[in-house]
Chains A and B, each alone.
Chain A
Amino acid sequence: MFILIVGVGRVGSSLARAMLREGHDISCLDEDPESHARLEISLEKPWEDMGGQFTVGTALEVEALRAAGIEHADVFVAATDGDNTNIIIAQLAKRRFSVPTVIARILDPLRAEWYERQGVHTICPTRVAIEMLESEVHEVANRAAGRAPRVGAADHEDDEV
Chain B
Amino acid sequence: MAERMYVIVVGAGKVGWNLARELLEKGHEVTLIEENRDRYATVEQELEHNIQYGDASELWVLERAGIQRADMVIAVTGDDEDNMLICQVAKEKYLVDRIIARVNNPRNREHFDLLGIRPVVSATDLILRLIEHEVPEYGLVHLLDLPEQRLEIIEMLLPEDSRAVGQRVGDLNMPEGTLLISVLREREGFVPVADTVLEAGDEILAVLDPKVEEDLTAYFGPEATV
Contacts and interface: CB of A to CB of B under 8 A. Distances in A.
What is the interface residue range for chain A against chain B?
10 to 19
Interface in B83-133: 84-85, 89, 92-93, 105, 107-108, 110-111, 114-115
A111 B58 contact: yes
A108 B85 CA distance: 13
What is the interface residue range for chain B against chain A?
20 to 34
A106 to B, nearest CB: 11
Given A96-B114, A114-B89, A114-B93, A84 B107 contact: no
Contacts of A87: 81, 85
Grouping DSSP codes into helix (H, G, I), strand (E, B) and loop, the A interface class, with mixed when no group exceeds half, is helix
A61 B105 CA distance: 10
A91 interface: yes
A96 B114 CA distance: 8
A119 to B, nearest CB: 11
Contacts of B85: 84, 87-88, 111
Interface centre among B105, B107, B108, B111 (most CB of A within 10 A): B111
B34 to A, nearest CB: 16
7 contacts: A60-B107, A60-B111, A87-B81, A95-B114, A111-B57, A111-B59, A118-B92
Interface of A: 60-62, 82-85, 87-88, 91-92, 95-96, 108, 110-111, 114, 118
